[in-house]
Amino acid sequence: MSVPRTWRNRRALYSLEGSKCQKCGKYYFPGRNRCLDCNTNELENYNFSGTGKVATYSWVYTPPKGFNNRIPYCLAIVELDEGPKLTTQLVAVEEGDVEIGMPVEFSFRKISSEGDEGVITYGFKFRPKNYPNHLKKK
């Protein structure tokens, strides 16, 4: 991710900010300037609650270059309570912990730092909603 793009996305990355259509009520993450449903440009910034559920997931054993994640890690598509879906990493889970429909919440984390320029790229991750008590039930 280049420096300008990191800067441009900064607010969305720090706060899970998207937009909401003032006409039809549809939510977008990341935010948009024009609604895909009703084609209005009457959208306002919206801060998502940060809670949702796992729509689907997979365990990754070979991370992309630049990621220093513990292997394996869980990559999931999370459906936010407001509707939009996003791809994110689930943290604080082990293989076997994750299932479709599991409630999760936004958990801000650093994702990666890029080599020579020392640019730290921040992003969002999610964790089980009842963290850290989600493991005590076992």
Residues 46-105 close enough to bind Zn ion by CB under 5 A:
none
Q: Does 35 bind Zn ion (CB under 5 A)?
A: yes
CB atoms within 10 A of CB 133: 9
User: Binding residues for Zn ion, how many (CB under 5 A)?
Assistant: 7
Q: Does 43 bind Zn ion (CB under 5 A)?
A: no
Q: Does 135 bind Zn ion (CB under 5 A)?
A: no
- Our CB check for Zn ion shows the closer of 38 and 135 to be 38
Q: Which residues of 21-54 are buried (b: 16+ CB within 10 A; e: fewer)?
A: beeeebbbbebeeebeeeeeeebeebebebebbb
User: Could you tell me which residues come within 8 angstroms of residue 81 by beta carbon, excluding any fewer than 6 positions away?
Assistant: 48, 49, 51, 52
> C-beta of 103: minimal distance to Zn ion in Å?
27
> Contacts from 22-28 at CB under 8 Å and sequence distance 24+?
26/83, 27/80, 27/82, 27/83, 27/84, 28/84
> C-beta of 47: minimal distance to Zn ion in Å?
18
Q: Please identify which residue in 1, 3, 38, 100 interacts with Zn ion, judged by CB under 5 A.
A: 38
- Our CB check for Zn ion shows the closer of 20 and 125 to be 20
Q: Please identify which residue in 12, 21, 80, 104 interacts with Zn ion, judged by CB under 5 A.
A: 21
Question: What is the contact surface with Zn ion in residues (CB under 5 A)?
Answer: 21, 23-24, 26, 35, 37-38
